[in-house]
Amino acid sequence: MSGWPHHHLIDLARFSREDFATVLGLAQRFRTLPVSGGRKLPALQGRLVTTLFFEPSTRTRSSFELAARRLSADVQSFTPSSSSLSKGETLLDTVLTYVAMGADVLVVRHRCTGVPARLVHHLRTLGIRASVLNGGDGLHSHPSQGLLDLLTLARHFNPGDPGPRALEGRRIALVGDVLHSRVARSNLWALTACGADVVLCGPPTLVPDLFRRFVEAPPPGQQEDPVARRGRIEVCRTLEEALPGADAVMTLRLQKERMRQHLLSSLESYHRCFGLTHARLRLCGGSAPVPVLHPGPVNRGVEMSGALLSDPEHSLVDEQVLNGVPVRMALLYLLAASEVAQGAALDQSSLNPSSSRP
Ligand code: CP
């Protein structure tokens, strides 16, 4: 763990294959440790994790908070509607207030792309060491979701060794609103880094052709891609083209709150063309049941049928939620470990569960 190179987590474009292996390995370990029912690991005792969600969330926020508690961290959460933002306090001053209270890790979600990265810049300028963990920013990035999706797929394909190699050579279809999806962008970096080929499917208004070249451009400030050879990205306009040969299908939520123009004629016509059903899933071929993922929240009957969503033979949606906790434990652990990298590293004993109740 001493080689973990990231003090903040803004996106997955900066992750090497080894970084993905580290997170998946640690998350898999946390997943198998007995940390439910009030048992906790002492790894982050004395650390303060602050969740600052300027945009609504059910899954991400609560699983980060559960993850932090399972590692014995103190947890503090900020609610914008009842905060001094309404009196005109700026976002930066709000964050600095929580830093002054001793926050070690700030988990930040914001509707505007780039807010977590700007915070990193400000904290560096001010010489503040708190880590920023992106809980989802605008259209840009949702790294913890990309990682929990990766763990879910890796566990499905190779339960005995759910590392990046489990994704090598797989064909993963991402269907729907790619344009507005930070989840899709994080998955594109993660899946291609692990050697999977990704096929994007949707109408041109939601899946522009440009996405074929998405992973070719390194993010600002990065000289070169940390991954030597990535999987390919293909763009298809129909499920009939996209699904044959797919090993898994991820449907994406139609992000009505981010759509500024009328990009669809109707939700009914969208479901007719791109909604996933048992019948459509048979287009994938093969004899084994094809897994279906969705990051949530789901528009039932739009992105996929209610029957498919609730079918345990195909749906990994609950598994994604479940995997969110150990993945976020791994991320908090790794960032807190980098926090003390110059001094004592967290040791093996910090991963042994205690029976103390929260
Ligand atoms: N997948 C996801 O980010 O869900 P929430 O918006 O509920 O956190």
Domains defined along the chain, listed by start: 17-141+320-351 (3.40.50.1370), 143-317 (3.40.50.1370)
Ligand 1 atom with the smallest distance to the CA of 295 is 1
Ligand 1 atom with the smallest distance to the CA of 296 is 1
Q: At 354, is the pLDDT very low, low, confident or very high (cuts 50, 70, 90)? A: low
Helix axes 143-157, 182-193, angle to 10 degrees: 50
Residues with CB under 6 A from ligand 1: 57-60, 136, 142, 145, 295-297
Mutate to test the pocket of ligand 1, among 145, 180, 293 (most ligand atoms within 8 A of CB): 145
8-state DSSP, 252: E
Helix, strand, coil fractions of the chain, as percent rounded to 5:
40, 15, 45
Express each pLDDT in 250-291 by its tens digit.
999 887 665 556 677 778 888 899 999 999 999 999 899 999
Q: Where is average pLDDT lowest: 123-132, 137-146, 300-309, 334-343?
A: 334-343
Q: At 36, is the pLDDT very low, low, confident or very high (cuts 50, 70, 90)? A: low
- In the reported structure, the alpha carbon of residue 202 is separated from the centroid of ligand 1 by a whole-number distance in angstroms of 22
Kindly state the percentage of the chain with pLDDT values over 90. Answer: 79
- In the reported structure, the alpha carbon of residue 349 is separated from the centroid of ligand 1 by a whole-number distance in angstroms of 33
199 within 8 A of 171, measured Cβ to Cβ: yes
Ligand 1 atom with the smallest distance to the CA of 60 is 8
Buried b (16+ CB within 10 A) or exposed e, 101-120: eebbbbbbbbeeeebbbebb
Ligand 1 atom with the smallest distance to the CA of 58 is 7
What is the per-residue pLDDT for 346? 43
Terminal-to-terminal C-alpha distance of the chain: 26
pLDDT beyond 90 at 150: yes
- In the reported structure, the alpha carbon of residue 232 is separated from the centroid of ligand 1 by a whole-number distance in angstroms of 27
Mutate to test the pocket of ligand 1, among 57, 177, 298, 318 (most ligand atoms within 8 A of CB): 57
What is the per-residue pLDDT for 356? 47
Residue whose CA is closest, atom 6 of ligand 1? 57
3-state secondary structure of 310: coil
- In the reported structure, the alpha carbon of residue 295 is separated from the centroid of ligand 1 by a whole-number distance in angstroms of 7
Mutate to test the pocket of ligand 1, among 51, 59, 140 (most ligand atoms within 8 A of CB): 59
- In the reported structure, the alpha carbon of residue 2 is separated from the centroid of ligand 1 by a whole-number distance in angstroms of 31
3-state secondary structure of 321: helix
Mutate to test the pocket of ligand 1, among 58, 134, 252, 256 (most ligand atoms within 8 A of CB): 58
pLDDT beyond 50 at 338: no
| Assigned token pair, 130 | 């708190």
Residue whose CA is closest, atom 7 of ligand 1? 58
The structure's pTM equals: 0.92
Cα separation, 226 vs 22, whole angstroms: 15
- In the reported structure, the alpha carbon of residue 285 is separated from the centroid of ligand 1 by a whole-number distance in angstroms of 31
Provide the mean pLDDT of the chain.
91
